[in-house]
Structure 1
Amino acid sequence: MGAKVFTIAQQKGGAGKTTLAAHLAVAWTAQGYSVAVVDIDPQMSLTAWFRVREAAQGDAGAGLLVNQIKGWRVRAEVDKLAGDHDIVLIDSPPHMETEARVAIRAADLVIVPVQPSPMDVWATRPTIELAREEKSPVLLVLNRVPPRAKLTDAMQAELDALGGEQAEAQIGNRVVFASALSEGRSVGEVSPTGKAAREIKALAKELLVRAGA
């Protein structure tokens, strides 16, 4: 397949962008894809995770690369990585400045994690509007969903009003996501048959289908 570029974007902080990026990257790598992750978030949390991973695993897992990039080089680097990898995944900053706009413009699909609360849904609108301006398709991903939680009709209406499609796969609010990252690993490596790993695997598969892979 030609390289697919995914950008994880969300103006609201604390939505779980970096956690989602790390787990998706490892899931795709485990499926045999070569994956390049571009970290343009000033907090550099994804880069820090990758360094822990490298220290623990040496090559950090064949087929996985993480680059920390800033400024005008973002688009050029994404294009270069797309020529050498199957998937390029961009972890964008929480503010909607130039780098985030470039990352959204470059994407075949923009992944927007949303926690199931009114405040989080309302705060998502600027991200959706920016993607619309850049003519990039958007997929809302419910993230950190509490156990046994059910969306109310009102909450579903709020999500529908944002205008982006909603992923079938949802990601639960599970401690194992954070604990795995602290070890430089993913849930698929810590507990391959657990619910968290199954959720990430399902989302990774759905994203490729929706991107036309």
Structure 2
Amino acid sequence: MAGKVFTVAQQKGGAGKTTLAAHLAIAWMQLGRSVATVDIDPQGSLTRWHAVRMAATGGAPGFTHVQITGWRTQAEVEKLARDHDVVVIDSPPHAQTEARIAVRAASLVVAPVQPSPMDLWAVHPTLDLAAQEKRRLLLVLNRVPPRAKIADELVAKVQELANPPAVELAAAQIGNRTAYAGTLLTGLSVTEGVRRTLAAAEMQALAEEILARAG
């Protein structure tokens, strides 16, 4: 049976797309899944993190990683899905051919949304693209600040975008925590620390929820 393909997509840059893809990959690996990551974002941030992780782990990152572009994307993803339980695609932050291919290849599209007006408006092209390709989309509230009136109002606006089964909203939320960026600088993930942290608990909960929703 082919593995599940999760495309992390968001048309707005700086939404935490690559950070989410990296941490989820490690969380799924820790759940005993064989994982492959695919970087088709021209910025190559996921590939740079993988290089840091290679150095930090003595060349044993724990998962397969490839960086590809263009027409080779779909064939490479299909090949990886035959050999791995989970394939995570970090897609480009713009509506272009590679982004469409990444969405088309997905079992489930994961779209991080920060509770900000700009992110709220910017997620609509991703919603439209998923609808055009007839793919389910899961909105994930990302970098959620401590409770504040404006945050609550924006979270409510994101909830209004959910229209099951095509568009769902994850129950697990990712807080605005420096640990997510800090651990990536060392090539690691929040779930790999010895001490159980809120960041680790959040990411593990989201990883488990996405697997459950994908079936």
Query: Does TM, scored on the shorter chain, surpass 0.5?
Result: yes
- The code of the aligned residue for 1:37 comes to T
AA of the residue aligned to 1:122 = W
Counterparts of 1:157 and 1:188 in 2: how far apart (Å)?
30
Whole-Å Cα distance in 2 between the matches of residues 96 and 203 of structure 1? 26
**Residues 132 and 86 of structure 1, relative CA distance in 2, 3 Å threshold:** same
User: Which secondary structure does the structure 2 equivalent of 1:36 belong to?
Assistant: strand
Tell me the alpha carbon deviations over residues 158-191 of structure 1, each in whole angstroms, 9 at most, x when there is no partner. Answer: 5413642110000001011111000000011135
Once the two structures are superposed, the pairs formed by residues 171-182 of structure 1 within 5 Å of their partners are 171-182=174-185
In the TM superposition, residue 117 of structure 1 has moved relative to its aligned partner by 1.3
Aligned-pair Cα RMSD in Å: 1.6
Deviation at 1:65, TM superposition (A): 1.3
What's the TM-score, normalizing by structure 2?
0.93
In structure 2, the residue matched to 1:20 is: 20
Partner of 2:81: 82
User: How much does 1:153 deviate?
Assistant: 4.9
Q: Report how far residue 157 of structure 1 moved.
A: 3.6
Q: Match for 1:209 among 190, 199, 212?
A: 212
Paired residue secondary structure (1:152): helix
Q: Which of structure 1's runs of 4+ aligned residues deviate more than 4 A?
A: none
Partner of 1:77, secondary structure, is helix
Residue 192 (structure 2) pairs with residue 193 (structure 1): no
Which amino acid in the other structure matches residue 127 of structure 1? T
* 1:169 and 2:172 correspond: yes
Bigger Cα displacement from structure 2, 66-75 vs 161-170 = 161-170
Question: Do the aligned partners of residues 148 and 27 (structure 1) sit closer, same or farther apart at CA in structure 2, a change above 3 Å counting?
Answer: same
How many residues matched?
211
Structure 2, gaps ≥5 residues long = none
Aligned partner letter, 1:161: L
The alpha carbon displacement at 1:57 in A equals 0.6
1:49 corresponds to 2:52:
no
Matches within 5 A, 1:152-167: 152-153=152-153, 155-161=155-161, 163=163, 164-167=167-170
Q: Which amino acid aligns with 1:160?
A: E
2:95 partner amino acid: M
**What displacement does 1:118 show?**
1.8
Structure 1, unaligned runs of 5 or more: none
Tell me the CA shift for residue 15 of structure 1. 0.4
Q: Does 1:183 align with 2:186?
A: yes
Q: Which residue matches 2:64?
A: 65
- Alignment pair present for 1:108 and 2:101: no
The whole-number CA distance in structure 2 between the counterparts of 1:138 and 1:203 is 14
Could you say if the C-alpha distance between residues 41 and 206 of structure 1 is closer, same or farther in structure 2, counting changes exceeding 3 Å?
A: same
Distance in 2 (CA, whole Å) between partners of 1:154 and 1:46 is 29
For 2:211, the aligned partner's letter is: L
